[in-house]
């Protein structure tokens, strides 16, 4: 039983290591999404202008 517990602890440690790696990847994706959001806002503004012109 003690051995199995040690194995679970080791697996948890290795799991946390992989989680850290995925967290780094997620952060990169979040940065990319933030950039895309800013671009979308810019295009959204231009889109609103076009819609306003169409309404006029």
**Domain limits, the chain:** 21-56
* Residue 41, pLDDT above cutoff 70: no
Q: Tokens 């989680």 label which residue?
A: 19
In order, the DSSP letters of 40-53 are: HHHHHHHHHHHHHH
Which pLDDT value is given to residue 30? 72
Higher pLDDT, 21 or 29: 29
Higher pLDDT, 41 or 18: 41
Dihedral of CA 38/44/49/52: which sign? Answer: negative
CB atoms within 10 A of CB 26: 11
DSSP state of 56: -
Q: What is the mean pLDDT of residues 2-13?
A: 63
Q: What is the mean pLDDT of residues 2-19?
A: 60
């Amino acid at each position: 039983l003690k051995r199995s517990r040690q194995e679970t602890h080791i697996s948890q440690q290795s799991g946390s290591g992989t989680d850290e790696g995925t967290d780094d990847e997620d952060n990169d994706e979040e940065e990319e999404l933030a950039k895309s959001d800013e671009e979308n806002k810019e295009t959204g503004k231009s889109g609103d202008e076009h819609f306003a012109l169409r309404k006029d």
